[in-house]
Protein backbone atom coordinates (compact mmCIF):
# COMPACT_ATOMS: atom_id res chain seq x y z
CA UNK A 1 0.00 0.00 0.00
CA UNK A 2 1.47 3.34 -1.05
CA UNK A 3 1.27 6.62 0.87
CA UNK A 4 -1.66 8.66 -0.34
CA UNK A 5 -3.71 5.63 -1.41
CA UNK A 6 -7.42 6.09 -0.85
CA UNK A 7 -10.44 3.86 -0.58
CA UNK A 8 -13.84 4.80 -1.97
CA UNK A 9 -16.69 4.85 0.54
CA UNK A 10 -20.22 4.71 -0.84
CA UNK A 11 -23.02 4.97 1.68
CA UNK A 12 -26.66 4.66 0.64
CA UNK A 13 -29.76 5.66 2.59
CA UNK A 14 -33.46 5.39 1.80
CA UNK A 15 -35.84 7.65 3.72
CA UNK A 16 -38.58 5.28 4.83
CA UNK A 17 -40.27 7.08 7.72
CA UNK A 18 -42.08 10.38 7.93
CA UNK A 19 -39.68 13.34 7.92
CA UNK A 20 -40.54 16.80 9.28
CA UNK A 21 -38.67 19.73 7.70
CA UNK A 22 -35.17 18.18 7.72
CA UNK A 23 -32.33 19.56 5.60
CA UNK A 24 -30.13 17.15 3.66
CA UNK A 25 -26.93 18.24 5.45
CA UNK A 26 -28.64 17.88 8.85
CA UNK A 27 -29.80 14.36 8.02
CA UNK A 28 -26.35 13.31 6.83
CA UNK A 29 -24.64 14.87 9.87
CA UNK A 30 -26.68 12.50 12.05
CA UNK A 31 -26.32 9.49 9.74
CA UNK A 32 -22.55 9.96 9.25
CA UNK A 33 -21.25 11.35 12.58
CA UNK A 34 -17.60 10.89 11.56
CA UNK A 35 -17.95 13.60 8.92
CA UNK A 36 -18.29 17.24 9.97
CA UNK A 37 -21.18 19.38 8.75
CA UNK A 38 -18.67 21.49 6.77
CA UNK A 39 -17.23 18.39 5.08
CA UNK A 40 -20.70 17.15 4.21
CA UNK A 41 -21.71 20.49 2.72
CA UNK A 42 -18.56 20.46 0.59
CA UNK A 43 -19.33 16.92 -0.64
CA UNK A 44 -22.87 17.98 -1.55
CA UNK A 45 -21.66 21.03 -3.49
CA UNK A 46 -19.03 18.91 -5.28
CA UNK A 47 -21.76 16.56 -6.50
CA UNK A 48 -20.59 13.62 -4.40
CA UNK A 49 -23.97 13.43 -2.69
CA UNK A 50 -26.96 12.58 -4.84
CA UNK A 51 -30.67 12.44 -4.08
CA UNK A 52 -32.63 10.14 -6.35
CA UNK A 53 -29.53 9.89 -8.61
CA UNK A 54 -29.30 13.67 -9.09
CA UNK A 55 -27.04 16.30 -7.49
CA UNK A 56 -28.61 18.30 -4.68
CA UNK A 57 -28.03 21.22 -2.30
CA UNK A 58 -27.26 21.24 1.46
CA UNK A 59 -30.58 23.02 2.10
CA UNK A 60 -32.67 20.41 0.24
CA UNK A 61 -35.58 19.25 2.42
CA UNK A 62 -35.61 15.46 2.40
CA UNK A 63 -38.84 13.57 1.80
CA UNK A 64 -40.10 10.08 2.35
CA UNK A 65 -38.88 7.76 -0.40
CA UNK A 66 -35.73 9.77 -1.19
CA UNK A 67 -32.69 7.66 -2.10
CA UNK A 68 -29.47 9.31 -0.95
CA UNK A 69 -25.97 8.22 -1.96
CA UNK A 70 -22.75 9.65 -0.49
CA UNK A 71 -19.34 9.02 -2.07
CA UNK A 72 -16.22 9.85 -0.06
CA UNK A 73 -12.54 9.18 -0.67
CA UNK A 74 -10.91 8.10 2.58
CA UNK A 75 -7.16 7.78 3.18
CA UNK A 76 -6.43 4.10 3.38
CA UNK A 77 -4.37 3.10 6.36
CA UNK A 78 -2.88 -0.33 6.99
CA UNK A 79 -5.33 -3.13 7.67
CA UNK A 80 -6.04 -3.66 11.35
CA UNK A 81 -4.07 -6.70 12.51
CA UNK A 82 -6.23 -9.53 13.86
CA UNK A 83 -5.68 -10.39 17.51
CA UNK A 84 -6.78 -13.42 19.49
CA UNK A 85 -8.85 -11.56 22.05
CA UNK A 86 -11.75 -13.50 23.61
CA UNK A 87 -15.16 -12.10 22.74
CA UNK A 88 -18.43 -12.58 24.61
CA UNK A 89 -20.67 -13.07 21.57
CA UNK A 90 -24.39 -12.77 22.27
CA UNK A 91 -25.53 -13.44 18.69
CA UNK A 92 -23.98 -14.12 15.29
CA UNK A 93 -25.14 -14.92 11.77
CA UNK A 94 -23.78 -14.23 8.28
CA UNK A 95 -24.92 -10.60 8.38
CA UNK A 96 -24.08 -9.32 11.87
CA UNK A 97 -22.88 -10.15 15.34
CA UNK A 98 -23.66 -8.76 18.78
CA UNK A 99 -20.92 -8.52 21.40
CA UNK A 100 -20.90 -7.87 25.13
CA UNK A 101 -17.98 -5.42 25.27
CA UNK A 102 -15.94 -5.48 28.47
CA UNK A 103 -14.92 -2.26 30.22
CA UNK A 104 -11.49 -0.82 29.39
CA UNK A 105 -11.72 -1.81 25.72
CA UNK A 106 -11.49 0.85 23.00
CA UNK A 107 -13.89 0.18 20.12
CA UNK A 108 -11.56 0.98 17.21
CA UNK A 109 -7.88 1.92 16.73
CA UNK A 110 -7.08 5.57 17.35
CA UNK A 111 -4.18 7.65 18.57
CA UNK A 112 -2.63 5.85 21.53
CA UNK A 113 -4.71 2.70 21.00
CA UNK A 114 -3.44 0.74 18.01
CA UNK A 115 -4.04 -2.72 19.46
CA UNK A 116 -6.32 -4.49 21.89
CA UNK A 117 -9.41 -2.84 20.41
CA UNK A 118 -12.74 -4.40 19.56
CA UNK A 119 -11.90 -4.13 15.85
CA UNK A 120 -8.66 -6.10 16.44
CA UNK A 121 -10.70 -8.74 18.25
CA UNK A 122 -13.34 -8.86 15.51
CA UNK A 123 -10.64 -9.25 12.84
CA UNK A 124 -9.27 -12.19 14.83
CA UNK A 125 -12.73 -13.75 15.02
CA UNK A 126 -13.97 -13.39 11.44
CA UNK A 127 -12.62 -12.40 8.02
CA UNK A 128 -15.98 -10.91 7.05
CA UNK A 129 -16.62 -7.39 8.35
CA UNK A 130 -18.28 -4.36 6.80
CA UNK A 131 -15.96 -1.68 5.41
CA UNK A 132 -18.44 1.22 5.32
CA UNK A 133 -16.25 3.36 7.60
CA UNK A 134 -12.89 2.04 6.39
CA UNK A 135 -10.44 -0.54 7.71
CA UNK A 136 -9.88 1.12 11.08
CA UNK A 137 -13.59 0.85 11.89
CA UNK A 138 -14.38 -2.43 10.15
CA UNK A 139 -17.70 -3.78 11.36
CA UNK A 140 -18.43 -0.90 13.73
CA UNK A 141 -21.99 0.44 13.46
CA UNK A 142 -22.11 2.49 16.68
CA UNK A 143 -19.80 3.10 19.63
CA UNK A 144 -19.47 2.72 23.35
CA UNK A 145 -17.03 4.72 25.43
CA UNK A 146 -13.89 2.85 26.43
CA UNK A 147 -15.05 2.40 30.04
CA UNK A 148 -18.69 1.67 29.24
CA UNK A 149 -19.42 -2.04 29.05
CA UNK A 150 -22.21 -3.90 27.34
CA UNK A 151 -24.08 -4.65 24.13
CA UNK A 152 -22.63 -3.40 20.84
CA UNK A 153 -23.73 -4.27 17.29
CA UNK A 154 -21.24 -5.16 14.54
CA UNK A 155 -21.94 -5.64 10.83
CA UNK A 156 -20.36 -8.27 8.61
CA UNK A 157 -21.52 -6.79 5.31
CA UNK A 158 -21.93 -3.27 3.96
CA UNK A 159 -25.60 -4.01 3.27
CA UNK A 160 -26.21 -4.94 6.91
CA UNK A 161 -24.16 -1.94 8.05
CA UNK A 162 -26.26 0.48 6.00
CA UNK A 163 -29.53 -1.05 7.21
CA UNK A 164 -28.46 -0.87 10.87
CA UNK A 165 -27.09 2.67 10.52
CA UNK A 166 -30.40 3.75 9.01
CA UNK A 167 -32.25 2.37 12.05
CA UNK A 168 -30.02 4.37 14.40
CA UNK A 169 -30.59 7.54 12.38
CA UNK A 170 -34.37 6.94 12.27
CA UNK A 171 -34.31 6.27 16.05
CA UNK A 172 -36.05 2.91 15.76
CA UNK A 173 -33.33 1.23 17.82
CA UNK A 174 -34.29 0.93 21.49
CA UNK A 175 -31.25 1.26 23.79
CA UNK A 176 -31.28 0.73 27.55
CA UNK A 177 -28.39 1.20 29.96
CA UNK A 178 -27.92 0.46 33.65
CA UNK A 179 -26.30 3.27 35.61
CA UNK A 180 -25.40 3.58 39.28
CA UNK A 181 -25.57 7.25 40.23
CA UNK A 182 -24.75 9.50 43.15
CA UNK A 183 -27.69 10.53 45.34
CA UNK A 184 -31.31 9.44 45.01
CA UNK A 185 -33.45 11.15 42.34
CA UNK A 186 -36.60 12.76 43.69
CA UNK A 187 -38.67 11.33 40.84
CA UNK A 188 -39.08 7.64 40.05
CA UNK A 189 -38.82 8.46 36.33
CA UNK A 190 -38.23 11.52 34.19
CA UNK A 191 -37.30 12.77 30.72
CA UNK A 192 -34.15 14.88 30.46
CA UNK A 193 -34.51 17.02 27.34
CA UNK A 194 -31.44 19.26 27.17
CA UNK A 195 -29.29 20.09 24.10
CA UNK A 196 -25.62 19.13 24.15
CA UNK A 197 -22.54 20.80 22.67
CA UNK A 198 -18.83 21.27 23.16
CA UNK A 199 -17.57 22.13 26.61
CA UNK A 200 -16.12 25.65 26.64
CA UNK A 201 -13.06 24.80 28.74
CA UNK A 202 -12.45 21.06 28.36
CA UNK A 203 -12.04 19.77 24.77
CA UNK A 204 -12.58 16.18 25.93
CA UNK A 205 -15.94 16.95 27.54
CA UNK A 206 -19.48 17.66 26.42
CA UNK A 207 -21.86 20.08 28.15
CA UNK A 208 -25.48 21.13 28.25
CA UNK A 209 -25.65 24.33 26.16
CA UNK A 210 -28.31 26.97 25.74
CA UNK A 211 -27.60 27.88 22.11
CA UNK A 212 -26.32 25.90 19.15
CA UNK A 213 -26.42 22.46 20.76
CA UNK A 214 -27.76 19.23 19.31
CA UNK A 215 -31.12 17.99 20.64
CA UNK A 216 -30.69 15.21 23.21
CA UNK A 217 -33.33 13.26 25.12
CA UNK A 218 -32.76 10.73 27.90
CA UNK A 219 -35.35 8.86 29.96
CA UNK A 220 -34.38 7.43 33.34
CA UNK A 221 -36.33 5.08 35.58
CA UNK A 222 -35.25 4.27 39.15
CA UNK A 223 -34.79 0.52 39.56
CA UNK A 224 -33.56 0.53 43.16
CA UNK A 225 -32.73 3.14 45.77
CA UNK A 226 -29.90 3.05 48.29
CA UNK A 227 -28.79 5.60 50.87
CA UNK A 228 -27.00 8.19 48.76
CA UNK A 229 -27.11 6.18 45.52
CA UNK A 230 -29.54 4.74 42.99
CA UNK A 231 -29.63 2.14 40.23
CA UNK A 232 -31.25 3.52 37.07
CA UNK A 233 -32.53 2.08 33.83
CA UNK A 234 -31.63 4.73 31.25
CA UNK A 235 -33.15 4.82 27.78
CA UNK A 236 -31.55 6.87 25.03
CA UNK A 237 -33.94 8.56 22.63
CA UNK A 238 -30.98 10.21 20.85
CA UNK A 239 -27.36 9.08 20.70
CA UNK A 240 -25.05 12.02 21.43
CA UNK A 241 -21.49 11.64 22.68
CA UNK A 242 -21.43 11.17 26.49
CA UNK A 243 -25.17 11.87 26.54
CA UNK A 244 -26.13 9.78 29.59
CA UNK A 245 -23.12 10.91 31.59
CA UNK A 246 -23.67 14.61 30.87
CA UNK A 247 -27.44 14.58 31.37
CA UNK A 248 -27.28 12.71 34.68
CA UNK A 249 -24.46 14.92 35.99
CA UNK A 250 -26.37 18.05 34.98
CA UNK A 251 -29.44 17.06 37.02
CA UNK A 252 -27.27 16.35 40.06
CA UNK A 253 -26.85 12.58 39.75
CA UNK A 254 -23.47 11.88 38.12
CA UNK A 255 -22.60 8.31 37.26
CA UNK A 256 -20.50 6.79 40.03
CA UNK A 257 -16.72 6.94 39.41
CA UNK A 258 -17.06 9.01 36.23
CA UNK A 259 -13.65 10.68 36.14
CA UNK A 260 -14.81 13.32 33.65
CA UNK A 261 -18.20 14.36 35.03
CA UNK A 262 -18.14 13.51 38.76
CA UNK A 263 -15.88 14.37 41.69
CA UNK A 264 -14.24 10.95 41.97
CA UNK A 265 -12.66 8.42 39.64
CA UNK A 266 -13.18 5.37 41.87
CA UNK A 267 -15.44 4.19 44.70
CA UNK A 268 -14.19 2.17 47.67
CA UNK A 269 -15.93 0.08 50.30
CA UNK A 270 -14.57 2.53 52.89
CA UNK A 271 -16.43 5.35 51.07
CA UNK A 272 -19.70 3.52 51.66
CA UNK A 273 -18.80 3.04 55.33
CA UNK A 274 -17.85 6.69 55.75
CA UNK A 275 -14.33 5.72 56.80
CA UNK A 276 -10.84 6.73 55.63
CA UNK A 277 -9.48 4.40 52.93
CA UNK A 278 -7.52 1.44 54.25
CA UNK A 279 -3.91 1.03 53.04
CA UNK A 280 -3.89 -0.96 49.82
CA UNK A 281 -7.69 -1.14 49.68
CA UNK A 282 -8.85 -2.13 46.17
CA UNK A 283 -11.65 -0.07 44.61
CA UNK A 284 -15.09 -1.55 44.12
CA UNK A 285 -15.14 0.19 40.73
CA UNK A 286 -12.69 2.56 39.01
CA UNK A 287 -14.54 3.47 35.83
CA UNK A 288 -17.96 4.98 35.21
CA UNK A 289 -20.68 2.63 36.50
CA UNK A 290 -22.47 2.52 33.16
CA UNK A 291 -23.45 -0.64 31.28
CA UNK A 292 -25.23 -0.97 27.91
CA UNK A 293 -27.70 -3.54 29.16
CA UNK A 294 -30.25 -4.09 26.39
CA UNK A 295 -30.85 -3.23 22.74
CA UNK A 296 -33.82 -3.91 20.44
CA UNK A 297 -33.36 -3.74 16.66
CA UNK A 298 -34.84 -4.97 13.41
CA UNK A 299 -32.68 -7.58 11.72
CA UNK A 300 -30.97 -5.82 8.79
CA UNK A 301 -31.91 -8.51 6.26
CA UNK A 302 -34.87 -10.66 7.34
CA UNK A 303 -36.78 -7.95 9.26
CA UNK A 304 -37.21 -9.83 12.55
CA UNK A 305 -37.46 -7.68 15.67
CA UNK A 306 -34.63 -8.83 17.93
CA UNK A 307 -33.70 -8.08 21.53
CA UNK A 308 -30.27 -8.64 23.07
CA UNK A 309 -29.26 -8.24 26.71
CA UNK A 310 -25.97 -8.56 28.55
CA UNK A 311 -25.45 -8.99 32.31
CA UNK A 312 -23.30 -6.35 34.03
CA UNK A 313 -19.59 -7.18 34.46
CA UNK A 314 -17.93 -8.13 37.74
CA UNK A 315 -17.09 -4.62 38.98
CA UNK A 316 -20.62 -3.32 38.40
CA UNK A 317 -22.10 -6.39 40.13
CA UNK A 318 -19.67 -6.02 43.06
CA UNK A 319 -20.72 -2.40 43.57
CA UNK A 320 -24.39 -3.39 43.59
CA UNK A 321 -23.71 -6.09 46.21
CA UNK A 322 -21.85 -3.60 48.39
CA UNK A 323 -24.69 -1.08 48.13
CA UNK A 324 -27.26 -3.70 49.10
CA UNK A 325 -25.13 -4.67 52.08
CA UNK A 326 -23.93 -1.28 53.31
CA UNK A 327 -26.43 1.30 52.02
CA UNK A 328 -29.91 -0.30 52.11
CA UNK A 329 -32.95 1.88 52.70
What residues act catalytically? 145
Mean pLDDT of 305-316: 98
Domains 89-170 and 174-326 share a fold: yes
CATH architecture of 89-170: 2-Layer Sandwich (3.30)
Per residue in 145-180, pLDDT (tens digit) is 999 999 999 999 999 999 999 999 889 999 999 999
Q: Residue ranges of the domains in the chain? A: 6-75, 89-170, 174-326
For the entire predicted model, the pTM comes to 0.79
Residue 272: how many CA atoms within 13 Å on its side-chain side?
Answer: 22
Asked if the model's pLDDT at residue 9 lies above 80, the reply is: no
For the chain, give the percent of residues with pLDDT over 90.
67
Q: What is the dihedral of CA 58, 62, 66, 67, to 10 degrees?
A: 30
Superfamily of domain 6-75: RNA-binding S4 domain (3.10.290.10)
Can you give the pLDDT at residue 15? 83
Q: How many residues does the chain have?
A: 329
Q: Under CATH, what is the fold of the domain 174-326?
A: Pseudouridine synthase (3.30.2350)
Q: Cα–Cα distance between 30 and 166 in angstroms, integer? A: 10
Cβ contacts of residue 138 below 8 Å, gap of 6+?
80, 119, 122, 123, 129, 130, 131
Amino acid sequence: MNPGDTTLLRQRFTIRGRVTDRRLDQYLAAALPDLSRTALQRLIREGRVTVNAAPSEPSYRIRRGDRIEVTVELPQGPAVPPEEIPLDILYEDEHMLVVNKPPDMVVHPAKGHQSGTLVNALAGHTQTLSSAYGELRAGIVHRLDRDTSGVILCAKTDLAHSALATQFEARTVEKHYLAIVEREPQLDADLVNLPLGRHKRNPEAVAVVRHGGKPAQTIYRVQRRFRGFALLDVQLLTGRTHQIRVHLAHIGHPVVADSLYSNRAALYRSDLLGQPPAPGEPPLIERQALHAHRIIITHPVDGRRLEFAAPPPADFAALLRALRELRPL
